[in-house]
Amino acid sequence: MKQHRFLLFSWFALILMCAGFSAHAQNAPQASVDRNSINEGDSLTLTITVEGSSDDAPDFAVLKKDFDVFGSRQSTQHSLFNGSLSSHTEWQTTLSPKHTGQIIIPELAVGAAKTQAIAIQVNAANKNAANDGSEPVFIESQVDRNAVYVQQQLLFTVRVFVAVQLEDLQLTKPEFDNASVKQLSETTFRREINGTPYAVHELTYAIFPQQAGELTIPELVFSAVEATRARSLFDFPGQGRALRRMSKQIGVHVKPIPKAFSGTVWLPARNLTLTESWSGTPQHLSAGESITRSISIRADSVLAAQLPALEQPTLNNAKIYSDQPTLDDQQDSVTTHAKRIENMALIPTQPGALHLPETRVIWWDVDSDSEKVATLNGETLNISPGAANNNQPTADAPPPVANLPTDSVTAPQVQSNTITQALGNGDTNTARIWQLVSAGFATLWLITLVLYWRARRAITPRTDNVIDQKNSSADSDAAAWQALTKACHSNDAAIARQKMLQWARVFFKRSDLRTIDQLRTLSADGAFERELQQLDNRLFGTMPDSGAWNGENLLRVITQLKKQLADKPQAEATLPPLYPVS
């Protein structure tokens, strides 16, 4: 009995030691800051995170050499996911740098472990600031550059400075008809201006202009109510003075696609790379064996929807089956990070050398303002003969069909045998009679289908004309264009197709325009025709969610087509009828 107790105690102690070691291994602390670049007089927030629970607080004393430290806050959060309970502990403290230049937040001890060091850039304060600290509330905005290419990322930052207590704070968002917007970050920090401390609410947006020319960033409106101390219990809340501030309007020049660009898909980006991976070992591949090749495109300062689809090679001795790509957008406080992963199954059809050609993506480096090409070198695979097995499916053979339940097969067989016996136990003449009967039913079905189609064609135009007449007064060109623009910005293919046809009916003054084929006939533009084809492939193709379609590209092409038709003389802009009479 004592021996059993000793063994149980030993096992229990071993489990506790393993659990303690696991918790210690998972408690490696991580340090992060809300901003890596700040101005003199600003504050930043330092966060220390430890997975699991910890009673050891970070030692912030080493920070006082280069920063003023404004207290710290500790919180522990618990979460339950898939039946597993996890937790993490955070410490947050506010730091204000004592000097400009690069300052290193050193490694901070949390128990026996330490965090990583972080570099902070502190810039000199702007001596020509619009406010000298005399205004209790003001707003400022800025862009990172005054000129960009079409579809190039433009950073727009707005800051609201508040030195008094406010309630019901609201700030409008930037909206455009010819640009898409994505919010990157939102943070709050402290800044001191001529001895006046301000709470600064900063928002950063990434703007992607879709049309060359002048882009106007409108004024943003900040509104709030100044909080007042209640003089009695009968005072109603919200009786403070209403405040309203507006940012300045900013103009940015949007340059067209440079003539030096030789690619087919315009892509202004930073740090674009191509990488590949395989699901197995490609050099040990046999004929008829499948392997998956994954190619990743990564780039900064663009959205994943802007990354182009890769051109699939045509191989004489292999089959390629592409899966739908994976699009992923990430972001930080200064830029966007896009990734596109294309997976393709490669099945060699015969042994020997299989040459995979080079993969190329042509893009425009906005930092060097020049064209660059990202490449994956071609490679040759040595394909071994397949296993000598007649039951092995070939590359062209369809996948095997799953075995059906016995009941689902028996009933049709019984029915077929009954019909055969009734017609003469399956002799040749009876089989021919049965074939003639089947052909007669098929012919009647086809005749019915043709008559229905002709009747529908005769009725549909009159119905559409009634609808168009009811809505013609309400559908203006501007309203239809705004609806199309909104659908393209949201990258909704189905809505964009519908709104495009509505706009085309108004723009071309053709109430009988109802299909994409009719619109393609009206435009006679190669780029527009390709966008229409991609749109239909997205909606009705074998891979409707392939991601190859981009609403921003469609809007850009339609905008160019609209401008070209508007610039033509009236005689040239007059279009032939959709249904010419011979």
Question: Which backbone phi and psi does 529 adopt, to 5 degrees?
Answer: -65, -40
Instruction: Look at residues 507, 560, 481, 527 and name the one whose alpha carbon lies nearest to residue 213.
Output: 560
Does 335 or 75 have the greater pLDDT score?
A: 335
User: Percent of the chain having pLDDT more than 70?
Assistant: 70
Residue 423 has pLDDT above 60, yes or no: no
- The secondary element (H helix, E strand) that includes residue 336 is strand 336-348
Q: For domain 26-123, which CATH number applies: 2.60.40, 1.10.3470, 3.30.1660, 2.40.10?
A: 2.60.40
Q: Does the pLDDT value for residue 530 go beyond 80? A: no
| More reliable by pLDDT, 501 or 414 | 501
Write the pLDDT tens digit of every residue in 559-580.
888 877 776 654 444 444 444 4
Nearest to 309 by CA among 153, 500, 537, 520: 537
- Asked if pLDDT for residue 232 goes beyond 60, the answer is no
With a cut of 60, say whether residue 260 has pLDDT above it.
yes
For residue 381, what pLDDT is reported?
93
Q: What is the mean pLDDT of residues 254-272?
A: 95
Which pLDDT belongs to residue 406? 34
- CB of 125 closer than 8 Å to CB of 40: yes
Confidence of residue 476 (pLDDT cuts 50, 70, 90): confident
Find out whether 58 and 29 touch, Cβ atoms under 8 Å: yes
Contact between 342 and 304 under an 8 Å Cβ cutoff? The reply is: no
Q: What is the mean pLDDT of residues 128-138?
A: 75
Max avg pLDDT among 351-355, 425-429, 432-436: 351-355
Tell me what pLDDT residue 450 has.
Answer: 64
Residue 314's pLDDT band, with cuts at 50, 70 and 90, is confident
CA distance 221 to 223: 7
Residue 419 binned pLDDT confidence (cut-offs 50, 70, 90): very low
Name, in order, each residue with C-beta under 8 angstroms of 102's C-beta and a sequence gap of 6 or more. Answer: 119, 120, 121, 122
Specify the pLDDT at position 452: 62
Greatest mean pLDDT range, 357-361, 485-489, 507-511, 545-549 = 357-361
123-127, 216-220, 302-306, 479-483, range with the lowest pLDDT: 123-127
In the prediction, which pLDDT does 432 show? 59
Between 213 and 86, the higher pLDDT residue? 213
The confidence score (pLDDT) of residue 445 equals 66
What average pLDDT does this structure show over 180-209?
Answer: 92
Enumerate the domain spans of the chain: 26-123, 137-230+237-255, 270-383, 441-466, 475-573
Say whether pLDDT at 218 is over 90: yes
CATH number of 137-230+237-255: 2.60.40.740
**Is the per-residue pLDDT at 274 higher than 50?**
yes
Residue 248: the pLDDT is 93
Q: How far is it, in rounded angstroms, from Cα 191 to Cα 224?
A: 20
Tell me if 131 sits within 8 A of 80, measured CB to CB: no
Q: What is the mean pLDDT of residues 2-8?
A: 48
What local confidence, expressed as pLDDT, does residue 457 receive? 54
Q: Quick check: 358 pLDDT over 70?
A: yes
Q: Does position 487 have pLDDT exceeding 70, yes or no?
A: yes
* Cβ neighbours, 10 Å, residue 292: 14
- Tally Cβ neighbours within 10 Å of residue 318: 20
- Per-residue model confidence (pLDDT) at position 21: 41
Helix or strand or coil: residue 459? helix
Q: What average pLDDT is seen over the chain?
A: 77
**What confidence tier does 396 reach under pLDDT thresholds 50, 70, 90?**
very low
Q: What is the C-alpha to C-alpha distance for residues 93 and 96, in angstroms, rounded to an integer? A: 10
pLDDT of 306 reads 94
pLDDT on residue 341: 96
Q: State what percent of residues in the chain have pLDDT above 90.
A: 33
At 88-129, the pLDDT tens digits run 788 888 888 888 888 999 888 888 788 889 998 888 876 655
Predicted local distance difference test score (pLDDT) of residue 422: 35
Instruction: Tell which CATH architecture fits domain 270-383.
Output: Sandwich (2.60)
Is the pLDDT score of 307 beyond 60?
yes
* pLDDT for 435: 64
Residue 97 near residue 120 (C-beta atoms within 8 A): yes
Neighbouring residues of 275: CB distance < 8 A, sequence distance ≥ 6: 295, 296, 298, 376
